[in-house]
Amino acid sequence: MATLVDTTAALEATKLDDAAELKRQRLRDKKRRQRQKQKEKKRSLTERRDTPGKGQGLFATQSLEEGAIVARQPPALSVVFDAHSQTVCGFCFKPDTTDKKTIKLVKRDGKVGVVFADDEHGAAVVTRLSATGANSTADIKQGDVLIGVHGALVATTGQALEALRNAPAAFEAVFIRPSLLICRDCGRFATCKDCAEQGRHKWHAHECQLFQNLPSSSKRGETSPVRLLLRYRASADIGDWSTDKETIDEVRSLVTTKGGIDASTALALQKLTGVPSDVCSLLIGTIRGNAAAVFRNNHRVACALSAKVGYCNHSCAPNCSASVDADGKCVLTATTSVTKDEELTISYVDANQPVEQRRAILQEHYEFRCECVKCVKDSRALLKLKARSRGKEHLQNTSRLAREQYMHAHVKGGKSTGV
């Protein structure tokens, strides 16, 4: 009996202990979450806030020096144009840098000491180089593709092996070192080695499948608008292709400047891509208003929609600039020093154009009249200039009038004033 009582008491005590421990644990978790939040807040240099007359804008949460990187992330949504879809990485826009090399090979006991396998195109890809082979010191790496043997082109592993067997004791071989992996299924997508290593080519399989399911008429001509919508859908279905990138949800919070497309087009796109028609319209409108062009080797190869850049309002005298760097990240850079709580702005137009031109473009494409400090100053200067030239004209006119009147009086009166 006593034992029983003791046990109950012990159990009660344990329960109390557990409850207390649980409470302490919860408190610790809460504190940890708060610390984490504070840390994140400290880390982020920007914050979205309401800005009078312009909806929301992006603001500096601390003072920034000129040249400071305000934000740098792969954009939320991007698409490579068809003409460049095999020569630019579909994730980070790295351009093709395939190297072609001619290497002198020698045979030892009839062998060159290189092991080949078929790649997905059936071509001869190097899998291994014999460490003790005759060509062990040659500049050949795993993944290189043999395309020429002793002056003859070889397209398949079979052809390559036969050509190697028939080659003389010493001969020239041509290897290429491909930098991009081209999707064999859609032919509209390439992945660079770095992105492939991170499993992104596998992610592409999802959007690729959606693309392949399209009717053939939709796969002709420029397909980038449809591929962009499919990429959006793939991201919504299976998640983003990287945890570092801006999320697809951030795009939804961008304000469209213009209704991109009419209702019937939006409905047709919904049928085609499975993306709701209002989202299609919003996305295309947002792309038209906010997307950044990506240039590689002087070509406009892709467009990228960055939420952070999209949050920035326009100014003809901006304190930030946006670009897509060599790693495919959208970079927002402070072009002047910025004080804490100052709004971060970029210019949507060439700010060196005359004020009337800038305002006309902004009105046409973004549907607002720019009243930035530069526009106000420039338009005042323009008004003054106009007034001055009108004044000059007026002066010229009145002086001519006076002269004529004077002459007229003289002729009439026939007198000299003696002046």
| Interface with Zn ion (CB under 5 A) | 89, 91-92, 94, 183, 185-186, 189, 192, 195, 208, 316, 370, 372, 375
Phi, psi of 126 (to 5 degrees): -70, 125
Give the nearer residue to Zn ion in terms of CB position, either 292 or 370.
370
User: Whole-number minimum distance, CB 397 to Zn ion, in Å?
Assistant: 35
Neighbours of 256 (CB within 10 A): 17
User: Whole-number minimum distance, CB 196 to Zn ion, in Å?
Assistant: 8
Give the nearer residue to Zn ion in terms of CB position, either 124 or 186.
186
Give the nearer residue to Zn ion in terms of CB position, either 68 or 205.
205
Give the nearer residue to Zn ion in terms of CB position, either 149 or 346.
346
Give the nearer residue to Zn ion in terms of CB position, either 47 or 119.
119
Q: Is 343 helix (H, G, I), strand (E, B) or coil?
A: strand
Give the nearer residue to Zn ion in terms of CB position, either 94 or 107.
94
User: Whole-number minimum distance, CB 198 to Zn ion, in Å?
Assistant: 9
Give the nearer residue to Zn ion in terms of CB position, either 89 or 149.
89
Give the nearer residue to Zn ion in terms of CB position, either 112 or 372.
372
Question: Which among 185, 251, 266, 254 has a CA at the least distance from the CA of 219?
Answer: 185
Give CA separation, 298 vs 85, 206, 322, in Å.
16, 31, 17
User: Whole-number minimum distance, CB 209 to Zn ion, in Å?
Assistant: 8
Give CA separation, 166 vs 117, 163, 264, in Å.
19, 5, 64
The region, left, alpha or beta by phi > 0 then psi within -120 to 50, assigned to residue 143 is left
Give the nearer residue to Zn ion in terms of CB position, either 52 or 418.
52
DSSP for residue 348: S
Give the nearer residue to Zn ion in terms of CB position, either 96 or 162.
96
Cβ–Cβ under 8 Å, residues 305 and 248:
no
The token pair at 339 is 């004080």
The token pair at 11 is 């159990």
Give the nearer residue to Zn ion in terms of CB position, either 225 or 260.
225
| 161-194: burial string, b at 16+ Cβ within 10 Å, e else | eebbeebeeebebbbebbbbbbbeebebbbbbbe
Cβ–Cβ under 8 Å, residues 210 and 110:
no
User: Whole-number minimum distance, CB 261 to Zn ion, in Å?
Assistant: 26
Quote the radius of gyration of the chain (alpha carbons, Å). 34
User: Whole-number minimum distance, CB 184 to Zn ion, in Å?
Assistant: 8
User: Whole-number minimum distance, CB 229 to Zn ion, in Å?
Assistant: 16
User: Whole-number minimum distance, CB 118 to Zn ion, in Å?
Assistant: 20
Cβ–Cβ under 8 Å, residues 366 and 257:
yes
User: Whole-number minimum distance, CB 182 to Zn ion, in Å?
Assistant: 9
User: Whole-number minimum distance, CB 191 to Zn ion, in Å?
Assistant: 6
Q: Which helix (H) or strand (E) holds 95?
A: none
The DSSP secondary structure of 241-255, one letter per residue, reads S-SSSPPHHHHHTSP
Number of helices (H) and strands (E), helices first, in the chain?
Answer: 11, 18
Question: Which among 266, 229, 273 has a CA at the least distance from the CA of 248?
Answer: 229
| CA 235/CA 232 separation, integer angstroms | 5
User: Whole-number minimum distance, CB 195 to Zn ion, in Å?
Assistant: 3
